[in-house]
């Protein structure tokens, strides 16, 4: 086994491939429809919904940290828990606390920056390639959860600003295309591009999810939230089964162009 293979074997996060981003976008869309199913369709409200999904998230993160190797289903279940928790937390901050979309987005952006700053100060890097210890994993999942919550608030803000759900989805899709262009044709930090893409996929999923399940008088297609959530869950686990899933490196400074 080479040094690279030995290092990758210690990782409990998947290599960044096209399949990774396909599943990530589907998971963020499921987070929106799933979170809305519990808080709105089932009428539990944002606070109770947040408590439910936050409890699941803590349980999955603890399981993920205790695991000895990469388990695709466990990893993506934790991502889904973080994105559904992010949906209800963002809605609770924006609506129940009354700080609005701009206030919620600003607060959550500061949380993401603070988490990354604390991670870098503590471990010297925010590259996902370094996630091989419990301490690094905790920083990783805290940052991911804040980014998922930020993405929900940002997606709702852009859609509510007059662009609607379709317009919001196009804006975030265009933003992701710009990041792809920067990856292939510039020398911008790969770590920065990864986190920017990770954050932007969340509002893309949020606007697509809202487009699917919001009433037609609010610009949505009025699909059943539970049905949309089930279809997305089946699609995600189909992708996990069919697409290559292995532990590996994320884009970093020392191997900038090896993987997409």
In the chain the first and final C-alpha atoms are separated, in Å, by 23
Residues 6+ apart with CB under 8 A from 254: none
> pLDDT tens digits for the chain (260 residues)?
444 444 544 678 888 888 999 999 999 889 888 888 888 888 888 888 889 999 999 999 999 999 988 899 999 999 999 999 988 888 787 676 777 778 888 888 999 999 999 999 999 988 887 788 899 999 999 999 998 888 888 887 887 777 887 888 889 999 999 999 999 999 898 888 998 998 889 888 878 877 777 777 766 777 788 888 998 999 999 999 888 778 766 555 444 343 33
pLDDT of residue 1: 46
User: 257: which 2 tokens?
Assistant: 């162009």
Q: By C-alpha distance, which of 224, 132, 210, 115 is closest to 166? A: 210
Contact in structure between 150 and 101 (CB atoms under 8 Å): no
Predicted pLDDT of residue 10: 60
pLDDT of residue 104: 80
Distance of CA 217 to the CA centre of its chain: 28
Q: What is the pLDDT of residue 4?
A: 47
- The partner residues of 247 in beta bridges, in order of sequence, read 14
Distance between CA atoms of 195 and 184, rounded to whole angstroms? Answer: 16
Q: Per the structure block, which two tokens stand in for 24?
A: 């990530």
Residues sharing a CB contact under 8 Å with residue 191, sequence separation 6 or more, in sequence order? 125, 126, 127, 128, 251, 252, 253
CB atoms within 10 A of CB 187: 9
């Amino acid at each position: 086994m080479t040094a690279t293979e030995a290092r990758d074997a210690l990782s409990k996060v998947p290599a960044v491939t096209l399949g990774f981003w396909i599943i990530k976008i589907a998971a963020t869309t499921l987070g929106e429809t799933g979170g809305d199913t519990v808080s709105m369709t089932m009428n539990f409200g944002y606070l109770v919904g947040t408590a439910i999904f936050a409890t699941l998230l803590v349980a999955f993160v603890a399981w993920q940290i205790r695991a000895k190797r990469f388990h695709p289903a466990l990893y993506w279940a934790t991502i889904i828990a973080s994105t559904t928790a992010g949906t209800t937390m963002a809605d609770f901050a924006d609506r129940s606390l009354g700080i609005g979309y701009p206030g919620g987005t600003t607060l959550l952006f500061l949380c993401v920056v603070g988490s990354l700053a604390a991670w870098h100060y503590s471990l010297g890097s925010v590259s996902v390639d370094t996630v091989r210890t419990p301490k690094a994993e905790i920083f990783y999942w805290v940052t991911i959860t804040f980014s998922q919550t930020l993405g929900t608030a940002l997606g709702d803000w852009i859609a509510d600003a007059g662009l609607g759900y379709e317009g919001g989805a196009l804006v975030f899709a265009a933003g992701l295309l710009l990041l792809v262009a920067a990856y292939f044709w510039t020398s911008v930090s790969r770590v920065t591009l990864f986190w920017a893409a990770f954050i932007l996929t969340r509002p893309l999923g949020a606007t697509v999810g809202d487009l699917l399940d919001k009433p037609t008088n609010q610009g949505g297609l009025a699909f059943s939230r539970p049905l949309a959530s089930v279809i997305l869950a089946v699609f995600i686990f189909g992708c996990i089964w069919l697409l290559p899933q292995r532990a590996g490196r994320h884009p970093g400074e020392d191997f900038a162009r090896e993987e997409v």
